[in-house]
Structure 1
């Protein structure tokens, strides 16, 4: 497994997949960044990231050759993400014997910056990624649009490989928190217990478009507490929190927005909430949306990437960057308990049809073993 820096869904997916493969008796090596290894407790990982020959020489050069040597000792190199795809493709090209190369796309390519140098760098990056994609024996996409992207970049063999959340199974059979436990959870975070909870679980990052979430909270008509669980860019968080402090109306009737940071009890927050919201500019099949649906929450998410396919008619889809639409959907759900319950039940019913992590691990074993003898 090759992946770069990750503290969220991609790293969590790799963690689940590695554990599943090892549980089936397969040997798995991991090449990643030190921060990623520490986040997921991979004590035996090869901490060889970043791999930039010439930029951090001599260490970078040593790490690059170590990755290439390691690639020659395995049957499959599975890269997760754009940068990892390029690193893995170079390593596999030099490895003897040559292992199979699998690339999994978990995110869309970032848009090109408006400046000429930025566009030039984006063009070079796209060319490198396309070269890696064309070298792969198999490319998978975490959503249908990523499958299309892989084909557009010249992938020879491509298929969807959806990333399931390991938390779904337990959430499908978990009840909502009772009032005493809910009140204790909120009070422990310094949050009033007399308002409905509108929950977002998200990294603090530009892709998640949290300014749209704050604008939606500001225009909401229903008194509620909007909580963001997650950490990330500290400077962005400071700006968002400063903006959030100005949202509540003087008479106390308006919404409250609170950032509570990273939590280890995310599933408990899901069981305490009335509505789940995600305003991302792009997502594949977001793990947090899977978990919210499995918890029986009505979801309000942006119509982008793999989210329309994921919610499958059981959630509210809004345009990217449209806070008025978000506020309207949230207010409707908060005011209409029957609608809220019906949509939550529909979301849970859809979640119950998804493949489990164990199912996907066995599917990955089949993919790794698939005959690629006719490919060059």
Structure 2
């Protein structure tokens, strides 16, 4: 049995879901796993047993910091391995491990790129200080993993002594590999359940599943829909930044009211849904316009569903998609529109790419296999 302390900061997307799933699978394998995370993260994922400790606070809440640091250090001294997920968690875990007695091994998983430098001088100074802390943390780790090859290279550049790839598998891949596309009646019912006119389901569906956040660059997606000449409905599933969502809705409404030859496609934002698998089965093309992604869980799911993917050439997406989709430049709505229009006009090419995507997805290791690999990684860091 390996005793593991997972450390995770504020997370609302794929990283939180991954840690939650990995924790559950390690426990089923008989290992002792505890979780330290921010209260809002524990609430988001229903992690009732998690230790709601996050010592990085601002404002009045900062007075809790010293006590929480002490509690994290004490927990670190009770385990064999402290496994940090993300940049801030790496720093918190490294400090805790340095002070813990007995001292556990430190493992860090990088799931995201570093935020771009910029902003005010004070913000640049803060970023510089944090960068030095992150380098110090990664140098202390027995193992640093990256969710994509570019993150492995980043870890090495930041001074990691040992860095390797550790993929994050999407849990719905097996289900989607076995699923068939929705029937026309199923598509109409799905659209009606989202408050959309069932008649929209008669058109080809261009799907995006994404948090509404600047990194996802959904403005480029909406701009691409405005440039598209294909008669299709572009559906965005997901929630997030409310101000950004309102701006996107305004832009999408503008497309629908535009007149002239290049009217553009219909864009509908349907919010967060618990039937993402059904939307993947209903779609004809999947689009990702993110400025950066590692090994996006939803792209894995789209490929398992047999969808041709149009994605930005960034981060881990080229290695994930390979020849089973189309890659375009970041921030290029014309390229996105052209690729979507090409695929919608060519059902044979859609079928070829969809079959290739499914074949790639069928070759991936599943979440249980990856959990067992994590046990091996932990054991490799331990003495003896």
Query: Residue 198 of structure 1: SS of its match in structure 2?
Result: strand
The equivalent residue for 1:213 is: 221
| Structure 1 stretches lacking a partner, 5+ long | none
Q: 1:372 to 1:154 in 2, by over 3 A?
A: farther
TM-score (norm 2): 0.94
- Measure how far apart 1:117 and its partner are: 2.6
User: Is residue 306 from structure 1 mapped to residue 316 from structure 2 by the alignment?
Assistant: yes
- Measure how far apart 1:193 and its partner are: 2.0
Distance in 1 (alpha carbons) for counterparts of 2:55 and 2:280: 35
User: Is residue 195 from structure 1 mapped to residue 203 from structure 2 by the alignment?
Assistant: yes
Alignment of 1:151-170 (within 5 A): 151-170=156-175
Q: 1:116 to 1:371 in 2, by over 3 A?
A: closer
| Contact 2:145 2:164 (C-alpha < 8 Å) held by counterparts | yes
| Contact 1:68 1:95 (C-alpha < 8 Å) held by counterparts | yes
Q: 1:306 to 1:57 in 2, by over 3 A?
A: closer
The equivalent residue for 1:64 is: 69
User: Is residue 364 from structure 1 mapped to residue 374 from structure 2 by the alignment?
Assistant: yes
| Deviation readout 1:226-262 (Å, 9 max, x if unpaired) | 1111111111111111111101233796311111111
The equivalent residue for 1:236 is: 244
User: Is residue 87 from structure 1 mapped to residue 92 from structure 2 by the alignment?
Assistant: yes
Query: Residue 84 of structure 2: SS of its match in structure 1?
Result: strand
- Measure how far apart 1:371 and its partner are: 4.3
Count of equivalent residues: 374
Query: Residue 260 of structure 1: SS of its match in structure 2?
Result: strand
Query: Residue 29 of structure 1: SS of its match in structure 2?
Result: strand
TM-score (norm 1): 0.96
| RMSD of aligned Cα (Å) | 1.6
| Deviation readout 1:20-76 (Å, 9 max, x if unpaired) | 100001111000111211121111100112434996343222111110111001111
Q: 1:132 to 1:180 in 2, by over 3 A?
A: same
| Structure 2 stretches lacking a partner, 5+ long | 1-5
| Contact 2:9 2:38 (C-alpha < 8 Å) held by counterparts | yes
Query: Residue 327 of structure 2: SS of its match in structure 1?
Result: strand
Distance in 1 (alpha carbons) for counterparts of 2:58 and 2:77: 19
Distance in 2 (alpha carbons) for counterparts of 1:284 and 1:171: 21
Distance in 1 (alpha carbons) for counterparts of 2:340 and 2:102: 56
